[in-house]
């Protein structure tokens, strides 16, 4: 079949007009990137991306992440051309219950590798995918792919992107290729008004190979990507584009997020090769060209791929675990217990990757097989450095990649640095495990900056996130079994710095299902506690003959048969959120102090004698 000499221009223009039509119909969206990045997307998908549209979940496919998630209309236009969504889907862009929402959503639209929109995180998730690929490739050479990410100025101004790119450069993730849509304009201003950095000098210093494409053409972009594939370090390709090129608003921030009118699209078509009156049309010449260059080529690649049985076993291992036979110390800190169990599991299962933000000696969470590095791709102990946000987002990329179980850790108070990554993990329902140690004011002399108060309440408020705060070694077993065997969402496990007192009445199986009774008393009142505070309330409950509930896993707490109006909760943190479980709440609604654990307990009256008096006073008043 012969194709027109200007076939590339026709493909690019078809993409542009289809994307603009969707935006204009929705009266909402971002036409600037739809125009200037169309050439990038066409070049990548048509000539480089190993991606079989007939098998969109093929595990050996190249990954493409649209970090600039506001450019979703352009990606949807491409997915329509690949047959992954329909014309009708494109026409329903940003409408109620469509599978073409305003920003890409993982699990909703075929062909979307990650939920993006919060700028910078797409870059970090791409880094995670590249890391995961390097691990699998080292074990199984037949598994090999590139990870591409398209980003803009906004992505690169976010700290999470810089953290992640620094990590990628340090670890020489050579199959990571960053495509930078460099148009010198952002929403409120020209880029030079807020950022005077030199991308070339900056990213070379970070350990990237830098390539400048000074013309937004298929030929130049194609040449740059070909060169990037042979690099032994990650590659940063800066592609100079003109935002809104060809419109009256080109090279201005007005085109960033302001839909074009049908008349403006018609004016643009005067200088494009796409001339059809129907702006949603998929031209036959473009369709046939894509069938040849995308469908046929990648269909052959899919059919020729011959994975080993060992690789398929690795990819299909469900990691169902049983901790009945593991012996754990009593009265030990739950950080120690959790670290011991996970290290043991890491030695059994190659799918477990763990690491911390420079705190493994404190959180006790680290992977096995040595430190992951350019000369040790099999190392599963990830040194994320002091990059908490990127750590969370990179872990999400690892979770998205295939069959890894990424585990990351820092102090609970620093979970604030990871909240946006945890939020995306929850939205995508990823099996990422976040372990936050030093889970209360009992952390002691590091002071209020290191003592969590509001963090548990904040995390519990997030949809699709399970927050577990095990009280002792039995509940630690339950928390870890829950994550591996039952979780369908990300999980947080909060652990203690200080040694706890084992209650000997906790139950890992009951814990996995949620809150449960550890003591039944005849008094009509009920005591509810979590984590290290559970033993104190257990002792008080026995003395006063009051039932005690472990809410270390709050699931099902509301369904337990107790009178909320005669219930008292206790957690050494904010009381916010506990009112729906108990009418009376004991906690700490102020920041902590720098002191020893003993002095902190005395200062806040959290000793058993003081707490028993509070309980008796509440009951007496009522």
Residues serving a catalytic function are: 388
* In contact, 392 and 421? CB cutoff 8 Å: yes
* 591, 574 Cβ separation under 8 angstroms: no
The backbone torsions φ and ψ at residue 322, rounded to the nearest 5 degrees and listed phi first, read -140, 120
For Cα atoms 353, 354, 355, give the angle at the middle one, nearest 5 degrees. Answer: 140
CA 354 from centre of chain: 15
The helix/strand/coil state of 108 is coil
DSSP of 35-49, one letter per residue? HHTHHHHHHHHHHT-
Tokens representing 604?
A: 């806040």
Write 612-620 long-range contacts (CB < 8 A, 24+).
Answer: 612/540, 612/543, 612/544, 614/586, 615/527, 615/540, 615/544, 615/546, 615/568, 616/544, 618/568, 618/584, 619/523, 619/525, 619/544
Distance separating alpha carbons of residues 246 and 36, to the nearest angstrom? 10
The two beta strands, 235-240 and 209-213, are parallel
| Residue 527: CB atoms within 10 Å | 28
C-alpha pair distances (Å), 207 with each of 267, 374, 516, 552: 44, 12, 52, 44
Which among 349, 328, 350, 331 has a CA at the least distance from the CA of 339? 328
Query: What stretches of 30-143 adopt beta strand conformation (E)?
Result: 63-66
CA dihedral (108, 109, 115, 117) positive or negative: negative
Residue 308's Cα: distance from chain center in Å? Answer: 30
Neighbours of 230 (CB within 10 A): 9
**Are the C-beta atoms of 387 and 424 separated by less than 8 Å?**
no
Helices (H), 281-387: 284-290, 297-304, 309-316, 334-348, 360-363
Which DSSP state fits 373? B
Are 571 and 456 within 8 A, CB to CB?
Answer: yes
Decide if 529 contacts 551 (C-beta within 8 A). Answer: yes
Six token digits for residue 193: 């008004």
């Amino acid at each position: 079949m012969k194709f027109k000499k200007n076939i590339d221009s026709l493909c690019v223009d078809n993409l542009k007009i289809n994307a603009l039509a969707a935006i204009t119909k929705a009266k909402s969206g971002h036409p600037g990137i739809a125009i200037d990045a169309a050439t990038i997307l066409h070049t990548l998908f048509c000539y480089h991306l190993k991606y079989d549209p007939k098998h969109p979940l093929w595990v050996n496919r190249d990954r493409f992440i649209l970090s600039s998630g506001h450019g979703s209309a352009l990606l949807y236009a491409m997915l329509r051309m690949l047959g992954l969504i329909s014309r009708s889907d494109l026409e329903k862009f940003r409408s109620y219950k469509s599978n073409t929402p305003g920003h890409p959503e993982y699990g909703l639209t075929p062909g979307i590798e990650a939920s993006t929109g919060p700028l910078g995180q797409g870059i970090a998730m791409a880094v995670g995918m590249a890391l995961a690929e390097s691990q699998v490739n080292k074990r199984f050479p037949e598994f090999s792919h590139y990870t591409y990410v398209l980003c803009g100025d906004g992505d690169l101004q976010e700290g999470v992107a810089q953290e992640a790119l620094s990590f990628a450069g340090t670890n020489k993730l050579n199959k990571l290729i960053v495509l930078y849509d460099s148009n010198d304009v952002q929403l409120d201003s020209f880029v030079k008004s807020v950022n005077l950095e030199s991308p070339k000098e900056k990213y070379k210093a970070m350990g990237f190979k830098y390539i400048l494409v000074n013309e937004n053409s298929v030929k130049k972009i194609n040449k740059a990507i070909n060169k990037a594939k042979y690099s032994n370090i990650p590659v940063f390709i800066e592609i100079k584009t003109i935002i809104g090129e060809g419109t009256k608003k080109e090279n201005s921030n007005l085109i960033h997020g302001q839909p074009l009118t049908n008349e403006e699209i018609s004016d643009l078509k005067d200088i494009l090769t796409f001339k059809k009156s129907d702006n949603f049309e998929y031209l036959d010449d473009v369709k046939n060209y894509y069938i040849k260059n995308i469908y046929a080529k990648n269909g052959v690649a899919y059919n020729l791929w011959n994975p080993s049985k060992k690789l398929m076993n690795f990819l299909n291992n469900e990691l169902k675990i049983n901790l009945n036979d593991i012996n754990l110390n009593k009265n030990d800190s739950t950080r120690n217990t959790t670290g011991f169990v996970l290290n043991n599991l890491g030695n059994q299962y190659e799918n477990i990757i763990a690491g911390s933000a420079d705190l493994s000696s404190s959180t006790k969470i680290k992977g096995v097989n040595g430190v992951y590095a350019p000369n040790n791709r099999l190392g599963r102990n990830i040194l994320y450095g002091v990059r908490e946000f990127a750590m969370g987002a990179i872990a999400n990329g690892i979770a998205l990649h295939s069959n890894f179980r990424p585990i990351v850790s820092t102090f609970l108070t620093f979970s604030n640095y990871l909240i946006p990554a945890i939020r995306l993990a929850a939205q995508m329902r990823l099996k990422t495990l976040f372990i936050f140690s030093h889970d209360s004011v009992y952390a002691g002399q590091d002071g209020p900056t290191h003592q969590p108060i509001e963090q548990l309440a904040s995390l519990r408020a997030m949809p699709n996130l399970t927050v577990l705060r095990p009280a002792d070694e039995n509940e630690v077993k339950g928390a870890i079994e829950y994550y591996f065997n039952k979780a369908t969402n990300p999980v947080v496990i909060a652990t203690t710095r200080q040694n706890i007192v084992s209650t000997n009445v906790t139950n890992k199986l009951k814990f996995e299902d949620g809150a449960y009774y550890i003591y039944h008393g005849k008094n009509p009142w009920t005591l509810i506690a979590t984590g290290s505070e559970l033993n104190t309330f257990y002792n008080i409950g026995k003395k006063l003959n009051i039932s005690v509930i472990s809410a270390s896993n709050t699931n099902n707490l509301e369904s337990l048969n107790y009178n909320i109006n005669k219930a008292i909760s206790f957690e050494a943190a904010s009381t916010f959120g506990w009112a729906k479980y108990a009418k009376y709440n004991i906690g700490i609604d102020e920041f902590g102090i720098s002191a020893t654990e003993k002095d902190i307990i005395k200062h806040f009256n959290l000793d058993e004698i003081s707490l028993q008096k509070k309980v008796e006073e509440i009951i007496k008043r009522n």
